[in-house]
Structure 1
Amino acid sequence: MIRLKILFLFICCTLLPQLLHSQQTVLVSPNKKISVALYNTNQNQLTGDWYLAISYTDSSRSTVVIPRIDLGLVTKTQDFSKRLTYIKHGKTLPVNESYTMLHGKRSACSNSGNEQVIFLKNNNNVRLNIIVRAYNDGVVFRYELPEKKGQAIVEDELTAYTIPADNKRWLEKWNPANEGLYTTMDNKSMQQGEWCYPALFSAANKSCWFLLHEADLNRNYCGSKLSNAAEPSKYKITFPNPADARGTGNSQPTVTLPFRSPWRAVIIGSLKDIVASTLIDDVSAPSTLKNTDWIKPGLVSWNYWSNNHGTKDYKTVIKFADLAAEMGWPYTLLDWEWDAMANGGNLEDATRYILSKGVKPLIWYNSGGNHTWVPATPKDRMLTHQNRVEEFTKLKKMGVAGVKIDFFESEKQDMIQYYIDILEDAAQYEMMVYFHGSLVPRGWSRTYPHFMTSEAVRGAEWYNNVPDFTMAAPEHNTILPFTRNVIGPMDYTPVTFTNSQYPHVTSYGHELALSVVFESGLQHMADRPEGYLDLPAAARRFLMEVPVAWDETRLIDGYPGKEIIIARRKGEKWYIGGISSEQKEKSKTLKLDFLKDNITYKLTLIADGEHDKDFKTTYTVVDKSSTLNVKLLRRGGFVACITPVE
């Protein structure tokens, strides 16, 4: 009997800790709705292949959002992909900080969640840590190599999201400029390939949605994309293609130790939660700037859409400067070919004229170098620190407020470093920056608040490029607020009433609404002057006053590819924009219960009129208990401005 007791105690002392360690480690969000758990494929063992699983619970049901997220890294000298040994997990610690955004969907932001660190080691006893956070609107995790010095070449990242086949998904085929259309898929229409960020999914039971992206990308890593080329249901983190940027740069990043990867981010919740989320900015590095008084979001007049060679013509430049002045917009853009400007003046003449009208010029540059095939000049002014210092010094003296830099062609590590070099040098000369032909945002608007926007979208410019965009645009426009524009500013260059090379099929109400539906710190109004100046007074006044930086954003109604109605607040005023992609007229009844209690508001509604090029404007008094009835034409839209009555 004594021997049996001794044997039992021995088993308890030796095996019980192992059994306890083999149990899943669970981290829960502050609101208890989201949980992320660590599992081992080798049950009841401390060594094996580890993965995360994410669950979501609303008021009525619980859903396993992503049943498996594979983990691991492979460097040139160490393998952290298989047979990792669990050491321990740290205490759950709160993350709680507040910060302010100068532009974006919300001004007062909060980075509030719970964090846990998981400590693993490989067969060589080299450590790999997984830092996991659970937020009320999602989950993020990142890898940490805690060695104190040295470098490592990361040959592969094993992160892979297993998505249930019955999930609906909205994905954009990978292209270096991130300018494709989203494809809607279900289990019957599944496609395999490489995909851009962000990627949107809907749980089969419709209990929640989730959006995959990455955040806090810095010069110590490359950008990535998703690929399900190997397995249809598994979306693996994939490094840039070697052929990108004309074959320049390395696809595999060289990291400096100690190393932390970008956050792998999953935004989770209802569609309202997805649209309102600031998670990508929340988890990114705080601002590097002490003085931000010079950073001024605003509307911009832009001549390229109506005249591809507009900046080559001094008289055209003057017309768009006059347009900005008359509309009260703070900026006008001097796009490509400004170095060949003629017909009455050159660059210096143009900037003097623009400034004399109380408008500030922005100016375009080719990113240059062997990474781009585009020969447009100037092509070398941004390439080196010395060149940038010389150019920014000149631009500052000329009164230029910001630069648009184009054609980056890849997300390899050397290109990420180039982006950040530009941002850091531009800040020294108080120069706002936006990128075209570029990566989608990764939280840089928080770290570098003078990073105002990036293209990385198939925008209105494509009315110049292909006839296909005419019929694709209405549906595309209703997908972007749930995907691309969720994760950062988007330079779509919207609000065009006249036609470019290829025509619109959207109504005037739809186009006007894009000024609210789409968010960008510099919002480029792309139409020719008469497109705005010939509008009815109410619509023209709306475009003179609509903000581009918001204090609050709320989704009122919508579904990707069908419609979206979004409300944004600036100060005490609310602006609503709504668009439809459907081929039939429809009526919507909107609750205004987001308004404050016991306050009366004046509401101006500018909606579709009798036909596509007609507006109907109505004025009424509303409060929190009111409803708003709106009729939308096919592919139609509307805006509303709601102002407290003094």
Structure 2
Amino acid sequence: MRPRQRRTRQAVTGVALAALVGSGLVVAAAAPSSATQDGSRTWSVTGPGAPGAARLTADVDLDAAGDLHLAVERGGTPVLLPGRLGITTDEHDLTTGLRLVDRRERTVHESYRMTTGKQLDRSATMREATLTFQGADGARLGVVLRVSDDGIAYRYLLDEPGQVTVTQEASTFDLPADAKAWVQPYQPSYETERTETTAAAANEAQPKTCDGDTCSFGYPTLFKTGGSYVLLTEADVDGRYSGSHLDHQDGSSAYRVALAEDAPVTSQGPLATPWRTAIVGGLDTVVGSTLVDDLAPPSKIKDTSWIRPGMDDWSWLSDGSSPGNFERQKDFVDYAAQHGLEYTLVDAGWQASWVPELVRYARAKGVDILLWFDWNALRTQAQRDAWLPKVKAWGVVGVKVDYMYSDTQSTFQWYDAILRDTAEQHLMIDFHGATIPRGLQRTWPQVTSVEAVRGEENGQNPTRDIFLAFTRNVVGSMDYTPTWFSRPGRKDTLARELALPVVFESGWTSLGDKPEGFAAQPVAERYLEQLPTAWDETRLVSGGPEQQPAGDRQAVIARRSADRWFVGGILAGASDTMKAPLGFLGKGSWLLETIGDTDGGLQRTVRTVTAADTLEVPSAENGGFAAVACPAAKGRTDCEQPVVTAPATSLTLDPASTTAAPGASVPVGASFVLPQGGTLRHVRMTLDRDRLPAGWTATGQDVTRGSLRAGEELTGDWTVTVGKDQPGGSVEVPVWVEYANPAGGNAPPVHVEQILRVAIPLHGTAYASDQPFLTEANGWGPVERDQSNGETGSGDGHPLTIGGTVYDKGLGMNATAKVTIDIQGRCTRFEAHVGVDDENAGKGSVTFTVLGDGRQLAATGVLKGGAAAVDLSADTTGVQTLTLSVGDGGDGNAFDHADWGTAALTCAD
């Protein structure tokens, strides 16, 4: 080991340290502190609000030993007891022996706009103090403390240039031992159940996953002390650092910040750590807080016009196998189109062979497609560079990425990378199997939602839902996937299920039922058609995480969009009358529609109210209600806005398919008609040159029309020339028409597209891995091209290797598997070297079969891992469709990574 060289340090003032935190108005400097007889000193920062019972004050204390502590009061009453501050690096202990060398103060005020969330327009004012301390060895530690009207936060500044390695933090939040606590055992998925307990006794509620007398709890963690609530979490975490959680020793009232996996983090200095954050106040303050976003860096995206929150229907929850069924996914698209939903989300099981066609089908109906990915398919830059532009070219507008399950620094570096890449491609993103939001949606506004919750897919727990309203959903959008009305053995009422997408905020709200389940609840359908997913204002109306006198728990939350208020109320426990004071409505008379449960199902009632009224809804066990209020007007009988859908149109190409040799030219004609209805506006027809293969060209002009009446025909003509070096196979030439969405607002144009399929005759040697798959099935992950099967992601395999021989070309499969390829009747022979890939270290057993037009042409017996490749060939003369199939050898498909080495066709010249 080389001896460590001591770094040459550069003195940095408190002003320079503060520059790491961001800009703001400096209003005071070098403010005085109080001192005690034992030599300790205290510096106070008070929030910007007017003096009163709710004003927050944070006190940083430096004791005689040079140890730092932080305490917080609300209206003069302690809410956080003195907790340790400090940090340790591989070179410096900055937790003790400290002395103050500089202090700077300022007021930070920011206004910004979100694309998602509980409040789109934000304004934040925070008092900030930067205290710079020096350790015994001369190293400096900056502590930046911010206090707002809804909480406090602090972070550390390490000013050394070069590499900085943080080994641990001393950061500790200390609560009164008897403070009520709502804690969640820590797992990186954040899908464990929360429990009500006390600050000191939290470990007793923890499953047996503790290390001795220390248990770990996940953010956000809620406490109640006196009349105040404290919600602990963190903000502004990215690849410079790791996520953290809270460690708690049995019987203690202190909760210490612990880095993910207790592993050091290494970054280039100067380094600003994440904000250690406490949202403090009454429950209304907690629910309405935007502190986590306020602490996050500003948006990295200037033009957010392509980012659109909305509803999607999502089939996986209620119809688990349907994401792999093209025709069934069309049913969900049809439902979305009929009911004005913006999206259909296609989850695990989709096939690249049919997704482009589904996208075209959906976009013609005014519906956009969202596509699920296992993160293993997007883990590397090469994988993202392959997949993200491809799905964008298909017309997919967003991705749902799953299974990250980690808070490590390397995982946050991956978040940085995929957020940058999706922003470049104008793809929205939903993180599933993910960590909690830490201000991510402000910095990267294409993030529409994040799971990090034990949601509807994990079974039902009405009490859990109450806790979530006051914990997890406070800090960011929450992908809970509600509204599975037809769920077998459902544990809540219909009205409560309908209330969940109001109570739980999510920029994309994935509705959990199937079309048939929604159709059985027309009252719910009508409400969901009106429901926004991004809000101008959010209010806690009533309820809390604690039990009511009747033995139940309740949460009633109101959210405003423009001039309409949507209200959701949920109850956990015994039946009770839910009460919702309507003071949030403001002046004047309001029309209030309320949906509650009856013996016959959901029932809607309408009445006129004012802000002085209180809504009372009798609710059954685990019941609830949903409501919407709008300004009353003469003759107005409901709060509905019209659901506008895209009209049926017709786009035809002549020809629809053709065959052309390299260098040949193909004429393309297009005709677009609106058979009946009103008039289309801002119509444009084009052949999409950007999606032609390299070397291809097209001539002809776009066709535009300011308006197109029903029955009128819009036509266009182009000539496409095939690239001279184009290999054999099938190429799609897209022609599309766009027109202004009749829904108006920020709805994107309706996109109607058809494909001219140009068959390029296969010639010479053609490889199976270079051809499009007509169909594809695989026992584990996707079929891989020119690499082994790997894991569940696409492009995550290794070089194809059988018996020590490496093959540059070929297919990697996992039994049982099958692909079909169009070989046009032009190829006379297929040859491959087949066997089990060496990556399985001698394990696995498979069979290989070659079929032509459904007829077996060649096959192997059972081949086992560790053996040399077997030559497999077949006469394919006259065959149109070639099928390559892998069986499991009769003993299951574990370790059955089957390689088709080379997999080449000999075709006519």
1:610 — aligned with what? 599
Q: Measure how far apart 1:187 and its partner are.
A: 6.2
Structure 1: state its 5+ residue gaps. Answer: 1-15, 243-250, 369-379, 464-469
Q: Is 1:498 the counterpart of 2:511 in the alignment?
A: no
Q: Measure how far apart 1:17 and its partner are.
A: 9.1
Q: Measure how far apart 1:40 and its partner are.
A: 2.6
Q: Is 1:233 the counterpart of 2:253 in the alignment?
A: yes
> So what's the TM-score if we normalise by structure 1?
0.87
Contact 2:576 2:621 in 1 (8 A): yes
> So what's the TM-score if we normalise by structure 2?
0.62
User: SS in structure 1 opposite 2:143?
Assistant: strand
Task: Kindly provide the CA deviation profile for residues 86-116 of structure 1, in whole angstroms up to 9, marking residues without a partner as x.
Answer: 22322x3111111111110001111211000
2:309 — aligned with what? 297
Q: Is 1:27 the counterpart of 2:45 in the alignment?
A: yes
Structure 2: distance between partners of 1:214 and 1:487 = 9
User: SS in structure 2 opposite 1:339?
Assistant: coil
Which of 138, 150, 158 is the matching residue for 1:137? 150
Matches within 5 A, 1:209-608: 209-229=229-249, 232-241=252-261, 251-339=263-351, 346-368=354-376, 380=377, 382-463=378-459, 470=460, 473-499=461-487, 503-536=489-522, 538-560=523-545, 562-583=553-574, 585-597=575-587, 599-608=588-597
Q: Which runs of 4+ in 1 moved over 6 A?
A: 16-21
Amino acid at match of 2:218: C
User: SS in structure 1 opposite 2:468?
Assistant: helix
Task: Kindly provide the CA deviation profile for residues 435-467 of structure 1, in whole angstroms up to 9, marking residues without a partner as x.
Answer: 11110000010000001111100001113xxxx
1:190 — aligned with what? 202
Structure 2: distance between partners of 1:323 and 1:52 = 54
Amino acid at match of 1:72: G
Task: Kindly provide the CA deviation profile for residues 302-326 of structure 1, in whole angstroms up to 9, marking residues without a partner as x.
Answer: 0110122211111221111111112
Q: Is 1:121 the counterpart of 2:134 in the alignment?
A: yes
Contact 1:139 1:265 in 2 (8 A): yes
Structure number with higher strand proportion: 2
Amino acid at match of 2:519: L
Moved more, 187-196 or 406-415: 187-196
Q: Measure how far apart 1:188 and its partner are.
A: 7.9
Structure 2: distance between partners of 1:387 and 1:21 = 59
Structure 2: distance between partners of 1:529 and 1:128 = 58
Percent identical among aligned pairs is 34
Structure number with higher helix proportion: 1
Root mean square deviation, CA, Å: 1.8
Q: Measure how far apart 1:340 and its partner are.
A: 7.5
Task: Kindly provide the CA deviation profile for residues 324-351 of structure 1, in whole angstroms up to 9, marking residues without a partner as x.
Answer: 112210001111111387xxxx222222
Amino acid at match of 2:341: W
Structure 2: distance between partners of 1:276 and 1:641 = 19
2:59 — aligned with what? 37
Q: Measure how far apart 1:579 and its partner are.
A: 0.5
Structure 1: distance between partners of 2:38 and 2:132 = 15
Q: Measure how far apart 1:254 and its partner are.
A: 0.3
Structure 1: distance between partners of 2:180 and 2:44 = 27
Residues matched between the structures, number: 580
Contact 1:312 1:340 in 2 (8 A): no
Structure 2: distance between partners of 1:269 and 1:350 = 49
1:643 — aligned with what? 630
Contact 1:111 1:283 in 2 (8 A): no
Structure 2: state its 5+ residue gaps. Answer: 1-33, 204-213, 547-552, 634-909
Structure 1: distance between partners of 2:629 and 2:245 = 40
2:211 — aligned with what? none
Q: Measure how far apart 1:643 and its partner are.
A: 0.9
Q: Measure how far apart 1:122 and its partner are.
A: 0.8
Higher RCO structure, 1 or 2 (CA under 8 Å, sep 6+):
1
Q: Measure how far apart 1:39 and its partner are.
A: 1.2
Amino acid at match of 1:566: I
Task: Kindly provide the CA deviation profile for residues 514-534 of structure 1, in whole angstroms up to 9, marking residues without a partner as x.
Answer: 010000010000111112122
User: SS in structure 2 opposite 1:150?
Assistant: strand
Which of 64, 68, 77 is the matching residue for 2:78? 64
Task: Kindly provide the CA deviation profile for residues 160-199 of structure 1, in whole angstroms up to 9, marking residues without a partner as x.
Answer: 1122111000011011211111011026843151011000
Task: Kindly provide the CA deviation profile for residues 466-507 of structure 1, in whole angstroms up to 9, marking residues without a partner as x.
Answer: xxxx4xx1101111010000000000001111115xx21100
1:89 — aligned with what? 103
Amino acid at match of 1:405: V
Structure 1: distance between partners of 2:343 and 2:114 = 21
Contact 1:190 1:232 in 2 (8 A): no
Moved more, 398-407 or 308-317: 308-317
Structure 2: distance between partners of 1:523 and 1:423 = 20
Q: Measure how far apart 1:592 and its partner are.
A: 1.3
Contact 2:175 2:199 in 1 (8 A): no
Structure 1: distance between partners of 2:137 and 2:632 = 70
1:200 — aligned with what? 222
Moved more, 230-239 or 449-458: 230-239
Q: Measure how far apart 1:232 and its partner are.
A: 2.7
1:169 — aligned with what? 181
Moved more, 187-196 or 415-424: 187-196
